[in-house]
Structure 1
Amino acid sequence: MRKVLVQGNFDVLHAGHIRLLKFAKECGDKLIVAVNADKSMVARSRVSEELRLEVVRSLECVDEAHITTSTPEEEVERFKPQIVVKGKEFESRSNPELAVLNRYGGKLIFGSGEFESNSDHFFRRSKKPVPGMDFTEARGFANRHSIVADDLHDLFGAMKSLRVLVIGEVIVDEYVQGTAVGLSQEDPTIVITPNRKDTFLGGAAITAGHIKALGADHVILASVLGEDQTADYARSQITDYKVEPLFFTDQSRPTPLKTRYRASNKTLLRVNQVRQHKISQELQAQIYKSIESQLNKIDLLVFSDFNYGLLPQPLVEKIAAACQHRGIKLVADSQTSSQVGDIARYCNMDLLTPTEREVRVSLNNPDDGLVILAQKLTEVSQPKNLVITLAEEGILIHKPNHTFDDWENDRLPALNTNAVDPAGAGDCFLAASSLALVAGANIWQACYLGSLAAACQVASLGNTPLSCQVLEQAVKDSFS
């Protein structure tokens, strides 16, 4: 492991510091930052050493940071880094640590910090909901359906005993952050300079991650991967999420990888490396046999279908029938985006959560209003509860009666008016609302929790599991 050491005051952390530390991190594997103690500084600092250390630790590129009263030479002697990084302005000055580095073959590198990007990207994502939450409509919804905070907090306790199996495609999402340089003279194309790449688990994997992070006792993820480095990343990450993998290998397809190129908080281009052919009947049989052996251990099964061939209709019907025979709750989401899905093929589910476009594509109905769409989908697939997600407009909840000849409708607007990245909202809503339903919530309570979870999720870039603590705090805030 190549250790990199940076030492400094970091009196008021600014973009130059961030660029230098980002550069230092790229020079090795582990970045250690020594923050000079108050008594070691020549000029009195405007910020205490504790606060300066806290801010440095908040940077994602920093692996380790500490307060020091040592000289640069003593710090190098202590950690013996392969590389020490200093600002370009030190290149023409005396650098006493160089003698120590030379004794064991270390290097001193001067970084100019000359790259541009939004420095906000380099801070660790907050675990607290960010400003932008608007609970005005949520309170009205809660009043209409007699939702109180104590009942919702009780649900969190009930969630802790739930066992869940999620089946669907694992997708790895890459975000390449860059600076827009200008328009190419050779092609009518925007040129960007990449500054940073972030990688996240998506698809069914993040749904499983959300469910585990929100408090479920045990979560199993069933999926198909290729034989590639993307699969290696998925296996490693899903273990970090404390989700049990039930993975199968299909040599005929890569592990789905989606790359977004972004600049100035906007996505410029998406590149999808996927295959959409159906898995073989032999592989379907293997998957069904493995899932059937788990059914006596679970309370909920979630179909997280991204329509890349993992869930052919015969497999869906066999799994659903086996679950219904055992009284296991069933939830389904079937994505239509650049690929085409059919949410209506998921019949007799306890909850369906399609987008408006997914309903219209499934019914081949571009004309009818939302309520009529909901009624028609309910007639076809007969779910116990239907929630149509409407992006920044929120959700429409359609609850039919047991004979499907009457229903209740209500809507809940999106609760975060300051969304940074809406990509994971649907996955998070599905996870939270499904858990709540199985924990004993009615559909109104489940959708309230799901909407709060989605609002928290879109507050940061990338799709990472939402913790139970963040959602509980959002519940508390929504009633205060």
Structure 2
Amino acid sequence: MLIQKVSEAQLKNKPKILVIGDLMIDRYIYGNSSRLSPEAPVPIVNIQNESITLGGAANVIQNLVSLGANVNVAGIIGNDNAGIQLIEHLEIDFLDTDLIVKDSTRVTTLKTRIMVGNHQLVRLDNEVTHPMAVELENELIEKIDDAVREADIVVLSDYNKGLLTESFTSRVIALATLYEKKVIVDPKGLDYRKYKGAFLIKPNRKELAEASKSENINSIEKLKNAASVIFDQTDVPYMVVTLSEQGMVLLSPDTHVELPVKATEVFDVTGAGDTVISCIAYFVSLGMDLEDACELANHAAAIVIRRLGAVTTTVEEILADLAQSVKQGVHLAH
């Protein structure tokens, strides 16, 4: 039984997972609004409070910490206050931040959302997305060598902010291949060839359509056709395509497994993709097979989309959701 498999796997080890990706800060400003400005036809927001959370690859890290992984993180930030805040938030979870490099030519990505009630009024992005310099790339490759060798699995969390360039990504995957480590990728952009040599790529439906130059992926056949384009480009053995409230599909070049969504209610799909890739990485690094890992990730996604915002879940919650499905007679993959 899958629940027993997880319990036995957890007793054996605490996986070491290296996350390399675009680190961000999400800032939320909450207020109320009852009138328009006399200066322009825009609402006046009276600020009540604000909060800071981790975003991008940093949200993947939070998910992995919540699952119980031993996480190492590598990336670049600006030499600014947002970068200081990001480091402080990571260190709350006792994470080692020595592999995070400061780039004086960029700012730390900061996304500020103005919220009135549960409605997002506007989002302000402060970011620099140019590719990192070759000197910085060389420094980072040198820094991560030991971490790649010691990791059970490597996660690339790409948000197209200038870190995971074609050159750097290829070098990271080559390093992982040298040390016989699997690489799992949350991709971004229109050209997935830079992920050649990875173990698994996890796009969502929209990302897959754009990268494969496909239109209107509204059936499993169209999805398989789009995926075949990426398989041809990258030679990866596996792909997981997330379909928001419709679940996900695990594909190889020759087969596919559909995993319908487990949620009875869908409130917010924000951050669900981060949860999925975190769970797949975590359970595969425990030694579980990929289909079981995807089944568990599907239950994890069901948990987080029942909640508002980018939230995390735990192995205990996932197993409870799985047990509830068994109780209700839902067919599960074993």
TM over 0.5: yes
Match in the other structure for 1:476: 323
Match in the other structure for 2:210: 361
Determine the C-alpha separation between the residues in 2 that align with 1:341 and 1:226.
26
2:129 to 272, 276, 283: 276
1:330 Cα deviation from its structure 2 partner: 0.7
Match in the other structure for 2:257: 410
Distance 1:151 1:228, change over 3 A: same
Determine the C-alpha separation between the residues in 2 that align with 1:441 and 1:315.
29
Provide the secondary structure at the position in 1 that maps to 2:149.
helix
**1:209-266: CA deviations, max 9, x gaps?**
21122122x2110011111111111111111123221210101111100112223323
Match in the other structure for 1:213: 66
- What TM-score, normalized to structure 1? 0.63
Determine the C-alpha separation between the residues in 1 that align with 2:268 and 2:52.
14
| Aligned residues of 2:18 and 2:153 also touching (Cα < 8 A) | yes
Match in the other structure for 1:85: none
Match in the other structure for 1:463: 310
| Aligned residues of 2:19 and 2:154 also touching (Cα < 8 A) | yes
| Aligned residues of 1:200 and 1:462 also touching (Cα < 8 A) | no
**1:96-136: CA deviations, max 9, x gaps?**
xxxxxxxxxxxxxxxxxxxxxxxxxxxxxxxxxxxxxxxxx
| Aligned residues of 1:343 and 1:359 also touching (Cα < 8 A) | no
| Aligned residues of 2:193 and 2:233 also touching (Cα < 8 A) | yes
1:236 to 85, 88, 101: 88
Query: Which structure is richer in relative contact order (CA contacts within 8 A, separation 6 or more)?
Result: 2
| Aligned residues of 2:114 and 2:122 also touching (Cα < 8 A) | yes
Match in the other structure for 1:110: none
Alignment of 1:86-97 (within 5 A): none
The reply on whether 1:264 has 2:117 as its aligned counterpart is yes
The reply on whether 1:396 has 2:249 as its aligned counterpart is yes
| Aligned residues of 2:149 and 2:176 also touching (Cα < 8 A) | no
Larger-gyration structure (1/2): 1
Alignment of 1:172-183 (within 5 A): 172-183=25-36
Between the two proteins, what is the percent identity of the paired residues?
25
The reply on whether 1:442 has 2:295 as its aligned counterpart is no
Match in the other structure for 2:56: 203
Determine the C-alpha separation between the residues in 2 that align with 1:166 and 1:425.
17
Residue ranges of structure 1 left out of the alignment (5+ in a row): 1-146, 401-406
Determine the C-alpha separation between the residues in 1 that align with 2:310 and 2:215.
30
| Aligned residues of 1:208 and 1:243 also touching (Cα < 8 A) | no
1:465 Cα deviation from its structure 2 partner: 4.1
Aligned alpha-carbon RMSD (Å)? 2.0
Determine the C-alpha separation between the residues in 1 that align with 2:134 and 2:7.
44
Provide the secondary structure at the position in 1 that maps to 2:255.
strand
Distance 1:177 1:412, change over 3 A: farther
Determine the C-alpha separation between the residues in 1 that align with 2:161 and 2:78.
13
Match in the other structure for 1:321: 174
Letter in 2 for 1:247: I
Determine the C-alpha separation between the residues in 2 that align with 1:192 and 1:458.
28
Match in the other structure for 2:3: 149
Provide the secondary structure at the position in 2 that maps to 1:212.
helix
| Aligned residues of 2:170 and 2:194 also touching (Cα < 8 A) | no
Distance 1:364 1:448, change over 3 A: same
Provide the secondary structure at the position in 2 that maps to 1:289.
helix
| Aligned residues of 1:385 and 1:443 also touching (Cα < 8 A) | no
Determine the C-alpha separation between the residues in 1 that align with 2:314 and 2:85.
22
| Aligned residues of 2:212 and 2:227 also touching (Cα < 8 A) | no
Determine the C-alpha separation between the residues in 2 that align with 1:229 and 1:291.
25
| Aligned residues of 1:178 and 1:194 also touching (Cα < 8 A) | yes
Letter in 2 for 1:205: A
Determine the C-alpha separation between the residues in 1 that align with 2:200 and 2:147.
21
Match in the other structure for 1:287: 140
1:384 Cα deviation from its structure 2 partner: 1.8
The reply on whether 1:248 has 2:101 as its aligned counterpart is yes
Determine the C-alpha separation between the residues in 2 that align with 1:301 and 1:408.
25
| Aligned residues of 1:149 and 1:479 also touching (Cα < 8 A) | no
Match in the other structure for 1:331: 184
- What TM-score, normalized to structure 2? 0.89
Letter in 1 for 2:91: T
Distance 1:170 1:291, change over 3 A: same
Q: How many residues align?
A: 322
Alignment of 1:49-68 (within 5 A): none
Determine the C-alpha separation between the residues in 2 that align with 1:412 and 1:190.
43
Determine the C-alpha separation between the residues in 2 that align with 1:367 and 1:391.
15
Match in the other structure for 2:200: 351
